[in-house]
């Protein structure tokens, strides 16, 4: 029986280098700056300067000491961020279309507005944190919805969402799974090619309770009221069991096209301005659909703007069915919310008009918390299907292609650094660290995959997880189960507290949460570097 293909994941926790070493780049640079400052102080102030420099170095070292809750410096930055959030009033969000006239008048009065008036006014905004500057390039019903993103400080991009039926259905042989994994690897390799206009794909798995509303509506419509009470009670019991202890998965692929000069030039040959964009995107959407289908992912037609809106509405308020798009206005996507240090609370009506409250907490998977090892295509199953408790969750993995020439140079530099470190430890008579050996194996595997003649390209990745529950107690328990499942997958979660409002957008179908072009290169198929989420 054939074995599942394996690829290395992890091993790139730090950028190797003279100044940055293997630890965190920021920490190493701070320590280097403290040493330089100490030398300057010693030259200027003699013994006094030497003492001041030593104190400064110790202070920097202590401030950057890692811990489960983050270093003291990171905690200080988080506290400062949270104070700024609450002072400016953006811990609350209400769609600007709902802003009362008196709120606007109080803010725009001739006299300087009070702090309360300013905070109330700031709560009403066009977009929630993390989704700024998203509009629709194309939102016609029954056709693919094309979102246009242009956040301040970032290059614009377009995104389209494809529903996926998944690569595995029922029992599959290892050979079949390997073939599909390699086919998906070919899709990812094309993202890194020089000619590809699409550069990123976001794979989203939404794990949610089964919605029994359709069954209940059918029963109310079709079951004879005169039926025996035992029969009605039996059907009610079936529905209760179906809705409790049972979750289903929905999968989506969000593809991102950067609006680069090359994209604009290609589109301009097809038509003027945005009309050319639409013609080009029609061809691109068809091409991506074919590639996803060839990879065995079972794509459906690209979602319309209203269908994307239904997914976003469900992720904000899971009481709404994820597929219920008939009443969705794609130009009114956002629900009122309030951010706390460790969660975002959404309070909005459910399908029956009754107000519902849902809490959401998002974590990132930093690459330093990923145990470096060879993994197969099922490495995330503990988080996807093997959890002991029902947890409503969204798992998002973003993958961005990197041209081979850049990826290969980075892999060669890392491998050279790994060998040098191994040699240095051996020369000192020290045992070679097992993690160092595995890292060297990982960088060598990347070089082998990126050799001339191979179709592989480089790949960067980022992973985020959002957990949802109805009460703080349930959310705490769900986050604990999520952390336990992540531990079984040999990864660690870092909750993005004090920035939860922006962080939750990293798991929405918007292809956000990863800095374009600022990731570490790695293997095609399975590999890369997870960055701290930034929407």
What is the reported pLDDT for 402? 78
pLDDT in tens, 122-153: 999 999 999 999 999 999 999 999 999 999 88
Residue 195: Cβ-neighbour burial (10 angstroms; 0-12, 13-18, 19+): exposed
What is the reported pLDDT for 232? 64
Contact (CB, 8 A) for 495 and 479: yes
pLDDT in tens, 161-179: 999 986 555 556 777 777 7
**Which among 17, 16, 8, 54 is positioned nearest to 34, based on CA atoms?**
54
Q: Which of 61-70, 119-128, 183-192, 197-206 has the lowest mean pLDDT?
A: 61-70
Show the beta-strand stretches assigned E in 323-391.
Answer: 337-340, 343-349, 355-364, 373-375
Q: Compute how many other C-beta atoms are within 10 angstroms of the C-beta atom of residue 288.
A: 21
Contact (CB, 8 A) for 530 and 463: yes
Contact (CB, 8 A) for 64 and 30: yes
Phi-psi region of 135 (alpha: psi -120 to 50; beta: other; left: phi over 0): beta
Average pLDDT for 518-526? 32
Report, in this order, helix, strand and coil percent for the chain, each rounded to 5.
45, 20, 40
- Looking at residue 23, the DSSP 8-state letter turns out to be S
Across the chain, mean pLDDT equals: 80
What is the reported pLDDT for 93? 96
What is the reported pLDDT for 17? 46
Taking the CA atoms of residue 205, residue 210, residue 214 and residue 216 in that order, the dihedral angle to the nearest 10 degrees is -170
What is the reported pLDDT for 506? 95
β-bridge partners, 466: 362, 394
Structure tokens at 504: 């939750």
């Amino acid at each position: 029986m054939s074995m599942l293909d394996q690829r290395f994941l992890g091993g790139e926790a730090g950028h190797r280098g003279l100044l940055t070493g293997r630890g965190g780049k920021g920490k190493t640079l701070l320590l280097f700056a403290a040493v330089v400052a100490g030398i300057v102080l010693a030259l200027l102030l003699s013994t006094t300067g030497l003492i001041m420099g030593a104190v400064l170095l110790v202070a920097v070292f202590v401030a950057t000491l890692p811990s489960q809750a983050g270093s003291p410096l990171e905690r200080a930055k988080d506290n400062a961020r949270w104070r700024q959030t609450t002072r400016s009033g953006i811990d609350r969000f209400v769609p600007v279309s709902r802003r009362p006239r008196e709120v606007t008048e109080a803010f725009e009065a001739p006299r300087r507005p009070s702090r309360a008036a300013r905070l109330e006014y700031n709560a009403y905004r066009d977009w929630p944190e993390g989704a700024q500057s998203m509009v629709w390039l194309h939102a016609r019903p029954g056709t693919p919805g094309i979102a246009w993103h242009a956040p301040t400080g970032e290059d614009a991009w377009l995104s389209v969402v494809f529903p996926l039926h998944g690569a595995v259905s029922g029992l599959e042989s290892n050979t079949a799974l390997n073939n599909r994994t390699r086919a998906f690897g070919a899709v990812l390799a094309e993202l890194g090619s020089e000619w590809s206009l699409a550069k990123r794909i976001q794979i989203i798995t939404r794990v949610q309770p089964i919605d029994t509303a359709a069954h209940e509506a059918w029963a109310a419509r079709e079951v004879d009221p005169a039926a025996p009470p035992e029969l009605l009670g039996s059907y009610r019991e079936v529905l209760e069991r179906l809705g409790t202890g049972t979750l289903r998965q929905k999968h989506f692929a969000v593809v991102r096209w950067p609006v680069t000069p090359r994209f604009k030039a290609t589109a301009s040959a097809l038509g003027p301005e945005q009309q050319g964009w639409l013609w080009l995107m029609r061809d691109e959407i068809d091409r991506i659909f074919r590639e996803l289908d060839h990879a065995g992912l079972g794509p459906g037609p690209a979602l319309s703007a209203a269908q994307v809106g239904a997914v976003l509405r469900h992720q904000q308020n899971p009481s709404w069915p994820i597929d219920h798009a008939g009443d969705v206005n794609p130009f009114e996507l956002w629900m009122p919310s309030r951010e706390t240090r460790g969660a975002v609370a959404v309070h909005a009506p459910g399908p029956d008009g009754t107000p519902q409250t849902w809490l959401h907490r998002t974590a990132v998977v930093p690459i330093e918390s990923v145990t470096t090892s060879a993994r197969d295509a099922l490495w995330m199953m503990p988080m996807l299907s093997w959890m002991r408790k029902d947890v409503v969750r969204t798992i998002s993995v973003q993958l961005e292609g990197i041209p081979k020439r850049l990826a290969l140079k980075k892999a060669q530099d890392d491998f050279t650094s790994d060998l040098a470190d191994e040699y240095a430890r051996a020369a000192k008579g020290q045992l070679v660290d097992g993690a160092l050996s595995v890292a060297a194996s990982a960088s060598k595997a990347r070089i082998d995959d990126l050799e001339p003649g191979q179709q592989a390209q480089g790949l960067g990745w980022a992973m985020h997880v959002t957990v949802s529950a109805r009460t703080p107690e349930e959310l705490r328990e769900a986050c604990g189960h999520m952390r336990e499942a992540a531990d079984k997958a040999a990864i660690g979660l870092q909750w993005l507290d004090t920035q939860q409002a922006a962080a939750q957008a990293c798991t929405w179908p918007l292809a956000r949460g990863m800095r374009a072009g600022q990731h570490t290169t790695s293997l095609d198929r399975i590999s890369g570097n997870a960055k701290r989420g930034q929407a």
